[in-house]
Structure 1
Amino acid sequence: MRDLQLLKGQKVDITKGNGVRDIKILLRWDTDHNGISVDAAAFLLSAQNRCERDEDFIFYGNPESRDGTVTHAAAGKNVESLSISLSGIPEQYARIAVTLTIYEGEQQNLRMKELSGLQLLLMDRKNGEELYRFDYGADLSDETAVVAGELYRHQGEWKFSAVGSGFDGGLAALCKNYGLEVEQETDSEAAATAELAERVGLVEKADKVEKVDRVDRGDKVEKGEKAEKAENVLPQTASAVPVNVLSSIDLRKKIVGYTLVKKQLTDVKARVGIVLDITGSMRNLYSSGVVQEVVERILAVASLMDDNGSLDVWVYDTEFSRLPPVTQQDLGSYVFTHIMNNDSIHKFGRNNEPPVMEDVIQKYTREEKETTPVFIIFINDGGVVKPTKKVIMAASPLPIFWQFVGIGDSDFEVLKQLDTMGGRLVDNANFIHLDRIEEVSDEQLYDQLLNEFPQWLKAAKAKRIL
């Protein structure tokens, strides 16, 4: 009987003598670290062990090779897959390196020792038979990337080598090793994030302000004019800003698109809403422009998932207000116009979550009753009242998923209990803590926001909620 378990350094035949032509590789891992983001990828390599074109790097941002023989997909929580048609791989490719990396591991001081249960499963796609498995990573510590294994040609057949070798320097180091030219990071979403950071007005300095097309945000900047002061870039003011808001949204939509591919959500449509805490402790985040940027970042999600491309908005303290939806066209001064400069909104009081949550339920299940799922992102900086749990429990039979985002340094005692709270038809809520949301990259933010949504969709369909 053939031993399925491989040891590090072992080499085995894949195609020779057994008729296997199409395979699937599953890469699995476990972690107790909520903030870590892990990505699988494949490098299609020439005989010189080089990735000759950027298109030969297959990952969730480029999920299919040009000829369709190699595809990447998310396959569940903490598992990603690579499907490979070995018989169709062009002759120019001699090897395929299968890798796992921690996103921004070096920057965030996240290492391979944060992961456990690292496993590679190699399966026959035709019949689902498991061919081999490789448990690795026990010897990894401070690395941020690992080459799990390699497929390679040998005398006209394909073999597999169990590698399990770690890399310092993350994805950038891997790309450099395989001949791809990089600056700081190489994957497409990181490049988009870097470009966005250069262009978003909140971080631009006055001496970097360039000529921009006409932007209407109260005052108007004609093409060719320059802003005179850095203060003018703050989005909570009604003055013109030296940034094309639609361009920054387009960049963020691109990153959301990559995340939807990774989470297998590209065909999912959902009504998207945001609930914003406007209690007293949030005052500085509104005045500094952080909330305006949060709205923009979430609008990018709604732009791709919601049929009408708009984001429904609520704010609350002891009272709540349901606001007009935000779109790309009116994003520029939304927080200033509809919240800060709106005297009808009760602001900077204490927390009281249940009333605003009940209004969310009212809108989507009675006023606008549809079969489309609802994805609510609930921003809060602490002090959530305990009856919130009762509303979540009562709402579990409804087509609404609540993604709570805790910002700041509160203990979030109530929200932390959501994952273990019993008595619900399905687990309809998730909580993530982002101490300084303005410092979290877009890629990491979208990855965490959408992490539990696919599991809820599956459970809700099984219970006929959707």
Structure 2
Amino acid sequence: MSISLEKGQRISLEKNGQQLNKVCVGVNWGAIEKKGLFGGIKKVAVDLDASVSLYSASKDLQDLIYFGQLVSKDGSIVHSGDDTTGDLDGDDGLDNEVITVNLAQVPANVNFVAIILNSYKGQDFATIPFASVRLYEGTPTRVDQVVANYNIANDAKFSGAVSMVLGSFYRHNGAWKFKAIGEPTQDKKLEQLVKTVATSYL
């Protein structure tokens, strides 16, 4: 049974008393539908970018995994690749981008692993018909068990925003935990978002 994440919620990454070290973060979204000139429906591609930023205990950026760098420098985090359209034929239930995180291999100098999302073309989150993120056990092509999910569609607070912080993994007493954040930011570009995470959300 998965948890529907709410802002500020913290979850323990344990299963049967054991640390859950390998998890996937999947993001699913749809193309925007607009009425055409002659009454038809036109599909407008949506390019959302899921990224992961790694920070030290002092909140200094250590690495950034995004569409331009699909694997972390140490190999512990792998991005499935850039999806530049979203689901064109309605929600197929599959993730458009998946980031695999092997927490056991994250370097000791990294204390925070933040999951962030931005709209590459500056398309307002509020105009996207559906968008959700889920944290699960499995692989990019197989979902074994959904640990938690977060629905970011149709929430008024995202109106006008093109960047958001989904949540972060953090070390606590030698174990990894996850904190749901789910907050839009005023940033327009990924570089700005990465800095905002460090100053306001860790």
In 2, Cα distance between equivalents of 1:115 and 1:50: 33
Matched position secondary structure for 2:97: strand
Matched position secondary structure for 2:80: strand
The AA in structure 2 aligned to 1:72 is: H
C-alpha deviation, 1:75, in angstroms: 8.3
Q: Which residue of 2 aligns with 1:132?
A: 148
Matches within 5 A, 1:232-247: none
Q: Which residue of 1 aligns with 2:195?
A: 176
Within the candidate set 119, 124, 141, 1:102 is matched to 119
Matched, 1:59 2:94: no
Matches within 5 A, 1:417-432: none
Q: Which residue of 2 aligns with 1:151?
A: 169
Matched position secondary structure for 1:8: coil
Does the 8 A contact of 1:167 with 1:173 survive in 2?
A: no
Count of aligned pairs between the two proteins = 171
The runs of 5 or more residues in structure 2 that have no matched partner are 34-43, 87-95
C-alpha deviation, 1:84, in angstroms: 0.6
Does the 8 A contact of 1:124 with 1:130 survive in 2?
A: yes
Residue deviations 1:414-435 (CA, integer Å, cap 9, x gap)? xxxxxxxxxxxxxxxxxxxxxx
Distance 1:94 1:147, change over 3 A: same
In 1, Cα distance between equivalents of 2:30 and 2:194: 25
Residue deviations 1:384-411 (CA, integer Å, cap 9, x gap)? xxxxxxxxxxxxxxxxxxxxxxxxxxxx
Does the 8 A contact of 2:67 with 2:82 survive in 1?
A: no
The runs of 5 or more residues in structure 1 that have no matched partner are 180-466
Q: Which residue of 1 aligns with 2:81?
A: 74
In 2, Cα distance between equivalents of 1:38 and 1:133: 18
Percent identity reads 25
Does the 8 A contact of 2:24 with 2:138 survive in 1?
A: yes
Within the candidate set 58, 73, 76, 1:48 is matched to 58
In 1, Cα distance between equivalents of 2:70 and 2:121: 20
Matches within 5 A, 1:12-411: 12-15=11-14, 17-32=17-32, 34-52=44-62, 56-74=63-81, 78=86, 79-105=96-122, 110-125=123-138, 128-137=144-153, 138=155, 139-170=157-188, 171-178=190-197
| Bigger helix fraction | 1
- Whose radius of gyration is greater, 1 or 2? 1
In 1, Cα distance between equivalents of 2:56 and 2:98: 22
| Bigger strand fraction | 2
Runs of 4 or more, structure 1, over 6 Å off, are none
In 2, Cα distance between equivalents of 1:3 and 1:73: 23
C-alpha deviation, 1:162, in angstroms: 1.4
In 1, Cα distance between equivalents of 2:187 and 2:160: 10
Q: Which has the higher contact order (CA 8 A, sep 6+)?
A: 2
Q: Which residue of 2 aligns with 1:204?
A: none
Q: Give the TM-score, by structure 2 length.
A: 0.76
The AA in structure 2 aligned to 1:148 is: L
In 2, Cα distance between equivalents of 1:6 and 1:175: 22
Matched position secondary structure for 1:129: strand
The AA in structure 2 aligned to 1:130 is: V
The AA in structure 2 aligned to 1:172 is: E
Distance 1:37 1:21, change over 3 A: same
C-alpha deviation, 1:160, in angstroms: 1.0
C-alpha deviation, 1:50, in angstroms: 2.7
In 1, Cα distance between equivalents of 2:75 and 2:27: 20
Q: Which residue of 1 aligns with 2:39?
A: none
C-alpha deviation, 1:115, in angstroms: 1.9
Does the 8 A contact of 1:27 with 1:80 survive in 2?
A: yes
Distance 1:10 1:49, change over 3 A: same
In 1, Cα distance between equivalents of 2:168 and 2:19: 19
